[in-house]
Structure 1
Amino acid sequence: MEEIQVEPPKATEVRVKMLGSSVCHTDISSLKGFPHNQFPLALGHEGIGVIESVGDEVTNLKEGDFILPTYIGECGECENCVSEKTNLCLTHPVRLTGLMPDNTSRLSVRGQPLYHVLSCATWSEYVVVDINYLVKVDPTIDLAYASFISCGFSTGYGASWKEADIQRGSTVAVFGLGAVGLGAISGAKMMGASQIIGVDKNVMKKEKGEAFGMTHFIHSNVPDKSASDLVKEFTGRGVDYCIECTGVAPLLTESLEATKVGTGKAISVGIGVELVVPFGLLGILFGRTLKGSVLGGIKTKTDIATIVNKCQKEEFPLHELHTHEVPFVDIGKAFELLKEPDCVKVVIKM
């Protein structure tokens, strides 16, 4: 724990008192230099908070509003936003510098600027966020659930809903049954997939997958057999769609190989630390499609509201994600809890 300084918000920014946060594996990857290697680093990008103060030019938000920080904006006017083909806004892009849009930081420690993982640092009592990188939500939402929706669960859900655009009656494999993978299973169920296969080396994830709509489970820790081999043995010809949620480099090729020749589609949403990965050319040469995805193709202003509404109606068993909890002062324990085989999400109580 460190005592830090948090500046007032500038013109188009708000200062937020964090109410709750959670741990995402991207936070862990950031310690190893992804998405940037700027230090000292303030961690956290999932969470929910309440606006404490607003900048001079902020008109659509006020003190007391509950918000989710996001790491993609949505201007609604740029070429990408208008096209409806992608969620990657050109005006408010993913920030990989660890700084605010003006390339400065509102956080400092002992006189030195603090960087953050993406658009802010939610593992702090107070954060400053540019208004283009947050979404207002209903204050009655469960704080833990809101934190899951701000990144992990929504990424997987969107991968099935927005990126894969899964067709009713089709078959789907999901590699990795963490929060992102369970979101992908939930999205595949919503889209009407007839067979949803969860693939994980941890057999304890089988029960979690079934709670979200998984129809079959494949234990991938089998000697001399790849994940794609196991999927094809089970299905015969592979699946229509595969959502890769682990970020483990070799599984990028495996996700393609697990799909059907000629028509298969794989969506890559997992984030590891290897930015250059080995890739099997034959996997894609035989007519399959590989698509990368950030935040599962979810548009922050448009689509997160839909997911929040479904959350409020309890259409997802998000309580199944809430496996561990730590008070903010004991945040160091969160890293150890992630190693537990039954851990899905660690909630940080601010």
Structure 2
Amino acid sequence: MNSMYMSLTNAPSKQASLTCKNISPLDSYFKRCQASKPQFTRIFFQVSKRKKLIVCQVNMSAQSTAGQVIRCKAAVAWEAGKPLVIEEVEVAPPQEMEVRLKILFTSLCHTDVYFWEAKGQTSLFPRIFGHEAGGIVESVGEGVTHLKPGDHVLPVFTGECGNCRHCKSKESNMCDLLRINTDRGVMLSDGKTRFSINGKPIYHFVGTSTFSEYTVAHVGSVAKINPAAPLDKVCILSCGISTGLGATLNVAKPTKGSTVAIFGLGAVGLAAAEGARIAGASRIIGVDLNPNRFEEAKKFGCTEFVNPKDHNKPVQEVLAEMTNGGVDRSVECTGNINAMISAFECVHDGWGVAVLVGVPNRDDAFKTHPVNFLNERTLKGTFFGNYKPRSDLPSVVEKYMNKELELEKFITQQVAFRDINKAFDYMLAGEGIRCIIRMDA
């Protein structure tokens, strides 16, 4: 094996044929040699049709780049609503309590599109978006102890500092230090960006900025995961899928055989339905204004569908009639205030629980009769599915590894990094659920 490393070190190109007896799966595209050598953190191989191992990527250890500026490609948003531009950016080394990551796979979330469009929000450009991703730790800053170069990780738009009252609480995941802040485009430690082009700062997005080959994040916003987990699949757990899944499993908590209504069958709503399926709900009723989503939702466990436009009465009354007085649990994933009210009023008195996930407009007001509460209906809200990023995401990954959670059905497109704007086109057209962006292509 040592000679293998010598041949790689002296190889004129990144590709070479070799044999290795100690190979384990990395993901559906690559395999990893488990041999260790100080000058390498990871060596990736792609299996050719002739069953030879082809070196397709060599990541040098942190010794080669730690403390240095890295030049890499990033998709920069220069203006609101304009196509992203692939630029060469400089990525500064991580500072205290920060880590620098090599992003291998990322995906597009509606939140990226919302702030890229900058309609009615404070605009901050130029900026690097992206917050659903999987990657590998390249180097760590001062004070980082639980991550090291080579670790497989998921960066997250929120965080877990471990020290505040929220982090110490078993009930909350709303970290005081690292709670999402869409207006902040700089790092917490020094108020500066780690991205620049010719000395001009390029702003961060929600502390992740994964539309870059390398990025820097606070260590509390990075979850270490099982290195055997395929990053091209589990990368989508960084935001929307975990949000919907956790809203059902952690907050609504339906019991086996129960009835659950899901309002909104986008990515988050489908993840909520997936949670109800995993929990063993016997009836999962999808509620959406778009009938084209109903067939797709069957893959996620939905057994029945209701389109409010098909009825001349409030949808909560329709659901109550369908379920002998109301559903056991409901999860609202649209952010529409009327849907939120319906989701609450459709649950059964005595034990019904409604969970709000969608984000309403700032001026919306939730109005319902107090008797609905007095009759022992419960209304809850949730943030990121009540998952603590560092503590809980590894267990969500294991649900996938144990075949409890089915992630493949969420992934409907893949594009090369150079074609990242196609992912925006898909989402703006309402096509698909999640588009994976391959950073190496």
Tell me the TM-score normalised to structure 1 length.
0.90
The residue type equivalent to 1:101 in the other structure is L
Match of 2:372 among 263, 286, 294: 286
CA distance in 1, matches of 2:333, 2:192: 32
**CA, structure 1 residues 193+119, in 2 after alignment: closer, same or farther (shift >3 Å)?**
same
Aligned residue for 1:38? Answer: 124
CA distance in 1, matches of 2:349, 2:431: 35
Aligned: 1:108 with 2:221 = no
Match of 1:128 among 206, 216, 219: 216
**CA, structure 1 residues 58+80, in 2 after alignment: closer, same or farther (shift >3 Å)?**
closer
Q: CA deviation at 1:18?
A: 0.9
**CA, structure 1 residues 222+341, in 2 after alignment: closer, same or farther (shift >3 Å)?**
farther
Aligned: 1:275 with 2:381 = no
The residue type equivalent to 2:298 in the other structure is E
The residue type equivalent to 1:12 in the other structure is M
Match of 2:282 among 194, 219, 223: 194
Aligned residue for 1:98? Answer: 185
- C-alpha contact (below 8 Å) 2:101/2:216 kept by paired residues: yes
The residue type equivalent to 1:87 in the other structure is N
Aligned: 1:29 with 2:118 = no
**CA, structure 1 residues 197+52, in 2 after alignment: closer, same or farther (shift >3 Å)?**
same
Q: How many residues align?
A: 348
**CA, structure 1 residues 141+116, in 2 after alignment: closer, same or farther (shift >3 Å)?**
same
The residue type equivalent to 1:93 in the other structure is R
Aligned residue for 1:310? Answer: 399
**CA, structure 1 residues 78+142, in 2 after alignment: closer, same or farther (shift >3 Å)?**
same
- C-alpha contact (below 8 Å) 1:173/1:243 kept by paired residues: yes
Match of 2:295 among 178, 187, 207: 207
Corresponding residue SS for 2:363:
coil
Structure 2 runs not aligned, ≥5 long:
1-84
- C-alpha contact (below 8 Å) 2:345/2:372 kept by paired residues: no
Aligned residue for 2:166? Answer: 80
Q: CA deviation at 1:344?
A: 0.9
Match of 2:416 among 316, 322, 327: 327
CA distance in 2, matches of 1:217, 1:9: 49
Match of 1:256 among 323, 328, 344: 344
Q: CA deviation at 1:147?
A: 1.5
CA distance in 1, matches of 2:97, 2:390: 17
**CA, structure 1 residues 36+60, in 2 after alignment: closer, same or farther (shift >3 Å)?**
farther
Q: Residue by residue, what CA displacement relative to the aligned partner does 1:104-126 show, whole Å, maximum 9, x if unpaired?
A: 32123454433333121111121
- C-alpha contact (below 8 Å) 1:35/1:117 kept by paired residues: no
- C-alpha contact (below 8 Å) 2:417/2:437 kept by paired residues: yes
Structure 1 runs not aligned, ≥5 long:
none
Aligned: 1:296 with 2:381 = no
CA distance in 2, matches of 1:318, 1:229: 34
Aligned residue for 2:205? Answer: 117
Aligned residue for 2:37? Answer: none
Corresponding residue SS for 2:389:
coil
The residue type equivalent to 1:81 in the other structure is C
RMSD: 2.4
Q: Residue by residue, what CA displacement relative to the aligned partner does 1:68-120 show, whole Å, maximum 9, x if unpaired?
A: 00123224443323331211123443334233223332123454433333121
- C-alpha contact (below 8 Å) 2:415/2:438 kept by paired residues: yes
The residue type equivalent to 1:345 in the other structure is R
CA distance in 1, matches of 2:383, 2:139: 30
The residue type equivalent to 1:29 in the other structure is Y
Greater relative contact order (Cα < 8 A, sep 6+): 1
Aligned residue for 1:20? Answer: 105
Identify the range of structure 1 (93-102 vs 289-298) with the bigger mean alpha-carbon deviation: 93-102
CA distance in 2, matches of 1:339, 1:236: 39
Identify the range of structure 1 (340-349 vs 5-14) with the bigger mean alpha-carbon deviation: 340-349
CA distance in 2, matches of 1:147, 1:226: 38
Aligned: 1:65 with 2:154 = no
**CA, structure 1 residues 326+226, in 2 after alignment: closer, same or farther (shift >3 Å)?**
farther
- C-alpha contact (below 8 Å) 1:36/1:98 kept by paired residues: no
**CA, structure 1 residues 5+223, in 2 after alignment: closer, same or farther (shift >3 Å)?**
farther
CA distance in 1, matches of 2:181, 2:430: 32
CA distance in 2, matches of 1:294, 1:109: 35
The residue type equivalent to 1:18 in the other structure is I
Aligned: 1:247 with 2:335 = yes
**CA, structure 1 residues 342+233, in 2 after alignment: closer, same or farther (shift >3 Å)?**
farther
**CA, structure 1 residues 281+87, in 2 after alignment: closer, same or farther (shift >3 Å)?**
same
Q: CA deviation at 1:10?
A: 0.8
Q: Residue by residue, what CA displacement relative to the aligned partner does 1:41-92 show, whole Å, maximum 9, x if unpaired?
A: 3211101111222213323222222110012322444332333121112344
Match of 1:171 among 259, 262, 267: 259
Corresponding residue SS for 2:291:
coil
